[in-house]
Amino acid sequence: MKVSIITVAYNAEDTIEDTLKSLAAQDYPDIEHILIDGGSTDATLDIVRKYEANIEKIVSEPDNGIYDAMNKGLALCSGELIGILNSDDTYADGSVISDVVGTLRASSADALYADLDYVDRNNPEKVVRHWVSGPYKRSAFLRGWMPPHPAFFLKKSAYDAYGNFNTDLRTSADYELMLRMLYKHRLEAVYLNRVIVKMKTGGQSNVSFRNRLKSNREDRAAWLINGLKPRPGTFVLKPLRKIGQFFRR
């Protein structure tokens, strides 16, 4: 099974090398790495070129946000399975992709998700939040559940059938995509019970309180866009579920 990994970057000179090293260290033999850069003006591309032997395609041009960049990457993917590892993220160890493929092959699923650690930006060995996703239940979406997007893999056939990221959403397009794929279209997902991604705090995915309010509005829109009806407490529970992540180690 060929695996495509998309990395989106913009002025990521402080973190991109760790991302590229973690991909280069994977022991799985059939990885297609697609790197989409938003036209960085720092040393990001200089660092990328050091690893270009391991990168299938590099695109550097302005985009209309992170989800537009991800869609550019999806258009270039030829792998059967697609994951996204952005420039603040690293894989936890060299066997991540092998474990992902092995777990997916042992199932009939179209999607796989796992656990994620948020780590201190200046000390990646220090875990700040530990996101345990837990076994999949479709009804969990009604209780505010979602898997961490950097630890989410989806077959290309699902993107081809049901579409890419909705760029009308600026902060919750990853949530909308997983809601659409797993809840609306009832694709089967399998849980890999281990941490596969380490995400540095302070990046695009780590939102402020103000952005959390915006995300809450977009979370509601994600259900409406898909003609789905949430429960009254769905959008209260979604941020509350994250509180326990700060106490798990």
Domain boundaries, position 39: 3-246
pLDDT of res. 238? 86
**CATH number of the domain within which 193 lies:** 3.90.550.10
Q: Which two tokens stand for residue 6?
A: 């998309």
pLDDT at 249 over 90: no
pLDDT tens track for 67-79: 999 999 999 999 9
pLDDT at 146 over 50: yes
pLDDT, average across residues 22-26:
97
Nearest Cα neighbor of 177 from 88, 82, 56 is: 82
For the CA atoms of the chain, what is the radius of gyration? Answer: 17
Q: How many domains does the chain have?
A: 1
62 phi and psi, to 5 degrees?
Answer: -60, 150
Distance of CA 39 to the CA centre of its chain: 21
Distance of CA 144 to the CA centre of its chain: 18
pLDDT of res. 215? 81
pLDDT at 210 over 90: no
pTM of the model: 0.92
